[in-house]
Structure 1
Amino acid sequence: MKNMNDSKCVRRPLVADHIQSLPKSGIRRFFDLVNTMDDVISLGVGEPDFTTPWTIRETGIFSLEKGHTSYTSNLGTPALRREICRYVEENYHVKYDPKNECIVTIGVSEALDIAMRALVNPGDEVIYTEPCFVSYPAEIRMAHGVPVVVETYAKDGFALDPEILLRKITPKSRALLLNFPCNPTGAVMSRENLEKVAEIAVEHDLIVLTDEIYSELLYEGEHVSIASLPGMRERTIFLHGFSKAFAMTGWRVGYACGPREIIDAMMKVHQYSIMCASTMAQEAALEALRNGTKSMQQMRDSYHERRDLMVNGFNRIGLECLMPKGAFYAFPSIRSTGLSSTEFAEELLKAEKVAVVPGSAFGACGEGFVRCCYAASAEDIIEAVNRMEHFLATLKR
């Protein structure tokens, strides 16, 4: 028998090739540095600064006290699925059957993951917009798909241009992934442009995955779900969750709605990898949908005020910044400084103890920008802008 320690023995890599090649999150890598410092004003982590409203927390506590600690259906509790479908029909104007067209997941991140794995064959192309949430291209690769970028630009308000989308489609195109309102830009899509995108999806037989996790956090105009447009319900997976609108990031509850055949396929992946979402978290999510609207609206109004404070501050100090219409992020340009987005973020952190995220973390066309989350106190926003103004002044010396 050969000695496995023999230098002539060739060992295969311990990690699968498609995972080995994935970069680590640009956000988390940057915040490893932040965590080594004290007294930092953080505009970086994309998380509400509110605690989950009390009635929602109380429901989770009561669930434990009542001994509701067993598995639920793989799809989620019937009561939560019924309430999700009611909420989606009322707010997004798409009707789904809670029995077989809705699945409860571990946050919207899992919903996206199992959707990709249920839909994508090796070599299929999945089109997505950049700048984008850091996990999108990784999710596509982990499903053995091929990520295809559609760039968005500040001159278009970072909205998806249907003409650019059309040029990206090939015979291998399988799906289109959308996220509006967008992380990191706060961009939204007009009904007119979304209708053009829907026509392209129908014409080219694309499945659309629409991540609408920030849709309640809209400050101007209307939110239109592409799932509600003609010909789209049967080819769209509607992805949503509770983290942003109801300040429930740590509860990890999301959901997907879509055609029965797709939801059934997603359930298979979910069943074998996750089993079900936490019982007490599902009961808390049910309370959020039934009685959390007032709290959600109060949080949204506060974000609206802080958005104006931050964006007006950036423009005042010379960092050109579009007024985002949704989510809770500003995406100012730092090109006037002559620094890369990573250089700007690192030097700002070291000099002024203000943490922002380099735009390059969200894709190549995020270069020249930084993401700043305005889910922070008004006092912190004012102080952060003042420190950034001082930082800009030192660059000019």
Structure 2
Amino acid sequence: MTSPSGSSDAPRPLLNRRLAEFGTTIFAEMSALAVRTGAINLGQGFPDEDGPEEVREAAVRALRDGRGNQYPPGPGVPELRHAIAAHQQRRYGLAFDPDTEVLVTAGATEAIAAALLALVEPGDEVIALEPYYDSYAACIAMAGGRRVPVTLRPRDGAYHLDLDELRDAITPRTRLLLLNTPHNPTGTVLTRAELAAIAELAVERDLLVVTDEVYEHLVYDGEHVPLASFPGMRERTATISSSGKTFSFTGWKVGWVTGGRDMVAAVRSAKQFLTYVSAGPFQYAVAEALALPDTYFEGLRAELGARRDLLANGLAEAGFEVYRPAGTYFVTTDIRPLGGTSDGFEFCRELPGRAGVVAIPNAVFYDHRDEGAPFVRFAFCKKREVLEEAVGRLKGLGR
């Protein structure tokens, strides 16, 4: 590139400074590694089998009936918005107006992006629980915010939040708490007492909250309690969930936001300039999925809980230190008891060649990379026979 004076300068990077630290996601890298090596992919959290047949058929029926083949309404089709409101009322006793307090999005990731773009001013601080899902950091950056991590730390076989550390992280510049429970990647499910303390803190310091609750139906130990159900939280909380994890149709990308009228209006203002609308026919199918009987949700939880135990027990037998998750799709392990490297990146890049399995290094989810260096995440949302084969391969690491 030549400057106006005619001198030659170094070319200006195309990617803006806010996103310069973000390259290809670790999920893309490790999934490509799985394909290249033929390894079992326990890295990315997508199921290897479809969800309920009646839900899939509902999507086919919507396509054939011409429902959703053109632009659906910006906030989402009425059938889905009413189904989301009914779900929140039935499961948690939370009442939302489907016309003004429910917004359908292109998955939870878009919902998070739209919420942060709508609610965060440049320079605002956003507190997120570390390790965090990688899109959080990118979305905070795109909004011009400054992320402030509060680290969950392993103890007694699980990860724990230090409420005093959370309180100390809040400054006059703090605008928003970005909360994820059940928590990816650690599997932590915040308790009712912890959530009550967070709610009191948010009210006391007049903070907004965005909660990512996509694993709400995948809790194996304890219970899922929406933060919006606590006193003073309904109007200041944007509650986010999606259909992908609950119904095993991750490719449909149907998510949603619920909250007070003003909160949802703010998020909708940003969302309309992202995708505007998406997944028309799938919205009708997800509306039917949300109305499935409780036996479906109970069966899903029981089946995935059994797969969690299969993988966690196998990893422990292979020599890993295992942090058994209370929820989500994922088991976090410490690789140090295996000997050899304590660098999760190095371990995960070598694992396909050593054992024919792909995992994700947890350090990618940290600002404080040293905190996450020896930890590796495995997904158990796979068929039992796949998990059994993976466990058998991993047991060879110690030999």
So what's the TM-score if we normalise by structure 2? 0.93
**Residue 49 of structure 2 corresponds to residue 50 of structure 1:** yes
* Paired amino acid for 1:350: G
**Residue 25 of structure 2 corresponds to residue 22 of structure 1:** no
**Residue 58 of structure 2 corresponds to residue 59 of structure 1:** yes
Deviation at 1:292, TM superposition (A): 6.4
* Paired amino acid for 2:53: W
> Match for residue 350 of structure 2?
347
Q: Note closer, same or farther for the CA distance 1:13–1:367 as it changes in structure 2 (3 Å cut).
A: closer
Partner SS, residue 238 of structure 1: strand
Residues 258 and 264, structure 2, Cα contact 8 Å, conserved in 1: yes
Partner SS, residue 245 of structure 1: helix
> Match for residue 358 of structure 1?
361
Alpha-carbon RMSD across the aligned residues, in angstroms, is 2.0
**Residue 81 of structure 2 corresponds to residue 81 of structure 1:** yes
Deviation at 1:211, TM superposition (A): 0.5
* Paired amino acid for 1:285: V
> Match for residue 383 of structure 1?
389
Deviation at 1:293, TM superposition (A): 4.8
* Separation in structure 1 between the aligned mates of residue 376 and residue 276 of structure 2, nearest angstrom: 38
* Separation in structure 2 between the aligned mates of residue 292 and residue 127 of structure 1, nearest angstrom: 37
TM-superposition CA deviations, 1:49-98 (whole Å, max 9, x none):
33031111111111111122222221111221111011012112221111
Deviation at 1:188, TM superposition (A): 0.5
* Separation in structure 1 between the aligned mates of residue 228 and residue 45 of structure 2, nearest angstrom: 26
When structure 1 is superposed on structure 2, of 375-384 and 353-362 the one drifting more is: 375-384
Correspondence list, 1:125-144, <5 A: 125-144=125-144
* Separation in structure 1 between the aligned mates of residue 279 and residue 381 of structure 2, nearest angstrom: 27
When structure 1 is superposed on structure 2, of 53-62 and 8-17 the one drifting more is: 8-17
* Paired amino acid for 2:364: A
Deviation at 1:127, TM superposition (A): 0.3
* Separation in structure 2 between the aligned mates of residue 83 and residue 327 of structure 1, nearest angstrom: 23
* Paired amino acid for 1:57: R
- Which ranges of structure 1 fall in alignment gaps of 5 or more residues? none
* Separation in structure 1 between the aligned mates of residue 25 and residue 10 of structure 2, nearest angstrom: 31
When structure 1 is superposed on structure 2, of 71-80 and 111-120 the one drifting more is: 71-80
Deviation at 1:9, TM superposition (A): 7.5
> Match for residue 208 of structure 2?
207
Deviation at 1:281, TM superposition (A): 1.2
Partner SS, residue 261 of structure 1: helix
Deviation at 1:369, TM superposition (A): 1.0
Correspondence list, 1:202-351, <5 A: 202-291=203-292, 293-336=294-337, 337-339=339-341, 340-351=343-354
Deviation at 1:119, TM superposition (A): 0.2
* Paired amino acid for 1:356: A
Deviation at 1:338, TM superposition (A): 4.3
TM-superposition CA deviations, 1:119-165 (whole Å, max 9, x none):
00000000001112111111111111101000011117323221110
Partner SS, residue 300 of structure 2: helix
* Separation in structure 1 between the aligned mates of residue 250 and residue 143 of structure 2, nearest angstrom: 25
Partner SS, residue 177 of structure 2: strand
**Residue 196 of structure 2 corresponds to residue 195 of structure 1:** yes
Partner SS, residue 314 of structure 2: helix
* Separation in structure 2 between the aligned mates of residue 341 and residue 15 of structure 1, nearest angstrom: 28
Residues 306 and 374, structure 1, Cα contact 8 Å, conserved in 2: yes
TM-superposition CA deviations, 1:217-271 (whole Å, max 9, x none):
1112221111101111111110001000111201110000112112112112222
* Separation in structure 1 between the aligned mates of residue 357 and residue 151 of structure 2, nearest angstrom: 28
Residues 241 and 255, structure 1, Cα contact 8 Å, conserved in 2: yes
Residues 235 and 263, structure 2, Cα contact 8 Å, conserved in 1: no
Residues 159 and 188, structure 1, Cα contact 8 Å, conserved in 2: no
> Match for residue 378 of structure 2?
372
* Paired amino acid for 1:47: F
Residues 25 and 361, structure 1, Cα contact 8 Å, conserved in 2: no
Residues 330 and 371, structure 1, Cα contact 8 Å, conserved in 2: yes
* Paired amino acid for 1:383: E
Partner SS, residue 97 of structure 1: coil
Residues 217 and 245, structure 1, Cα contact 8 Å, conserved in 2: yes
* Separation in structure 2 between the aligned mates of residue 290 and residue 89 of structure 1, nearest angstrom: 12
> Match for residue 37 of structure 1?
37
Partner SS, residue 81 of structure 1: helix
- Which ranges of structure 2 fall in alignment gaps of 5 or more residues? none
* Separation in structure 2 between the aligned mates of residue 349 and residue 289 of structure 1, nearest angstrom: 38
* Paired amino acid for 2:20: Q
> Match for residue 185 of structure 1?
186
Residues 125 and 175, structure 2, Cα contact 8 Å, conserved in 1: yes
* Separation in structure 1 between the aligned mates of residue 273 and residue 319 of structure 2, nearest angstrom: 52
Partner SS, residue 315 of structure 1: helix
Partner SS, residue 160 of structure 2: coil
So what's the TM-score if we normalise by structure 1? 0.93
- Moved runs in structure 1, 4+ residues, more than 6 A? none
> Match for residue 170 of structure 2?
169
* Separation in structure 2 between the aligned mates of residue 348 and residue 245 of structure 1, nearest angstrom: 29
When structure 1 is superposed on structure 2, of 251-260 and 148-157 the one drifting more is: 148-157
TM-superposition CA deviations, 1:250-300 (whole Å, max 9, x none):
111000011211211211222223221222011111111123654443332
Q: Note closer, same or farther for the CA distance 1:232–1:3 as it changes in structure 2 (3 Å cut).
A: closer
* Paired amino acid for 1:382: E
